[in-house]
Structure 1
Amino acid sequence: MPEIARLIGDNDCFELAFVEREATPEPAMELGIRLHLAGLSLSDTISILDRLGVERCRATVHNWVQKAELQPLDGADPDHVAVDETVIQLNDKQFWLYAAVDPKTNRLLHVKLSPTRNQAITEMFLAELREKHLVNDALFLVDSAPWLQAALHRHGLDYRYEKHGNRNSIERVFRELKRRTNQFSNCFSNAEANTAENWLQAFAFAWNQLI
């Protein structure tokens, strides 16, 4: 897969601070994490590692991804920001994934998982986004959700209703995310919310490396 080759070949911003507590060689751990984030299932990932002489179980690779605590880099300075939310199934419950994307680069700026959606949660998401990136002068592209527009107004941020156009960037991200979680239907089974959010942060990191 071209996506796997690109992610494996990019060593920027990939640190494994927890390796001192692991018996697996760091290169093998990094390869396992990158393979899974690039699109391979946990089963396929451990199969490749096994061919390289590293025998590990699915849970081990899953734990590597969790411990790596990967997330999108801070410090972006976008002209526009597309913001939206989508439903994520976590066991038998629905959660809301908030996401912000730079439509010029298609890179994810920030993601947050919440058990509900309302103005207060949206304001928290925007506050975290502003702490990470230089978005105060950006134009936010939004749909007709009243809680989102109200939260942006409360933060004093400029926004514009846009149904298609540059907002297609965030829809593209959501489509890929849903493809991944549908392909690996057990991804969020028996998982706590913080476990799912860590995986989503790692997905965002990998997405930014691949595009």
Structure 2
Amino acid sequence: MSEIDRLSEDNEWVDLDFVDRERTPEQIIEMGIRLHLAGLSLSNTKQHLERLGVQRSRAAIHNWVQKADLQRTGTRSSNYVTVDETVIQIGTDRYWLYAAVDPTTNEFLHVRLFPNTNSGLTYVFLRELREKHDIGDTTFFIDDAAHLKDALSRLGLQFHIRRHGNRNSVEHIFREVKRRASSFANTFSHVEPSTAESRLESFAVWWNRCQS
């Protein structure tokens, strides 16, 4: 089986409806999306496609990922959820990436990018999480940050302070996100926060796909 055929299997998670406006074959577009979300920089993805005889710019590959608009779908019910945040650099500014992760499956349930961190924004994040998933009886694993405890209490959600154990899942994922953010740096330095958030959402879809 050729590399293109192998990488283009099981492509229902990638929406290629925009391809009819492209001059590039679907298999190549999907390969470019997969390679970039798997950790290759735009430059390295471009070089990989060139070895296959396909000449496309870094901007074109970036546009493929944006146009695919990968979104996680479906309502989940989890007994435990880990919530945490980490700093992401976008150009010269720092933003806070909030993530909710199911420690049993290591899958993202929700991600958001905010300009800072406080109880109000944490409340918004958790409220959106509750709208997407059935978490009424979920126990949240958090550190002892006051804004997390305050927001969870305001929403009437159960939480348990834990610095190790099941919290290691989100910390492991954040390390990977930071590594990927470094490879995305040439893109993040020139985009709006909403575009960076969309890219991180696409990464979350790819990550969840790898866990299943």
State if a TM-score over 0.5 links the two structures. Answer: yes
Letter in 1 for 2:165: G
Partner residue in 1 for 2:29: 29
Computed over aligned residues only, the root mean square deviation of the Cα atoms, in angstroms, reads: 1.9
Distance across 2 between alignment mates of 1:80 and 1:7: 33
Cα distance 1:166–1:9, how it changes in 2: closer, same or farther (>3 A)? farther
Distance across 1 between alignment mates of 2:207 and 2:178: 13
Partner residue in 2 for 1:82: 82
Distance across 2 between alignment mates of 1:174 and 1:180: 10
Cα distance 1:6–1:157, how it changes in 2: closer, same or farther (>3 A)? farther
- Check whether the contact 1:7–1:206 (CA below 8 A) recurs between aligned residues: no
Distance across 1 between alignment mates of 2:113 and 2:107: 18
Q: Secondary structure at the match of 1:19?
A: helix
Q: Please state if 1:116 is matched with 2:138.
A: no
Alignment of 1:119-198 (within 5 A): 119-198=119-198
Task: Give TM-score scaled by structure 1 length.
Answer: 0.91
Letter in 2 for 1:121: L
Q: Secondary structure at the match of 2:76?
A: coil
Partner residue in 2 for 1:56: 56
Cα distance 1:198–1:149, how it changes in 2: closer, same or farther (>3 A)? same
Cα distance 1:6–1:94, how it changes in 2: closer, same or farther (>3 A)? farther
Cα distance 1:25–1:6, how it changes in 2: closer, same or farther (>3 A)? closer
Letter in 2 for 1:169: S
- Check whether the contact 2:15–2:69 (CA below 8 A) recurs between aligned residues: no
Q: Deviations over 1:115-170 (max 9, x none)?
A: 01111111111121112211121111111111111111111111111111101100
Alignment length (residue pairs): 207
Cα distance 1:108–1:8, how it changes in 2: closer, same or farther (>3 A)? farther
Distance across 1 between alignment mates of 2:8 and 2:138: 32
Distance across 2 between alignment mates of 1:94 and 1:44: 26
Q: Deviations over 1:170-197 (max 9, x none)?
A: 0000000111223454241122101110
- Check whether the contact 1:10–1:209 (CA below 8 A) recurs between aligned residues: no
Farther off after superposition, 6-15 or 197-206: 6-15
Distance across 2 between alignment mates of 1:8 and 1:138: 37
Offset at residue 9 of structure 1 (A):
4.6
Unpaired runs of at least 5, structure 1 = none
- Check whether the contact 1:100–1:111 (CA below 8 A) recurs between aligned residues: yes
Q: Secondary structure at the match of 1:18?
A: helix
Cα distance 1:196–1:134, how it changes in 2: closer, same or farther (>3 A)? same
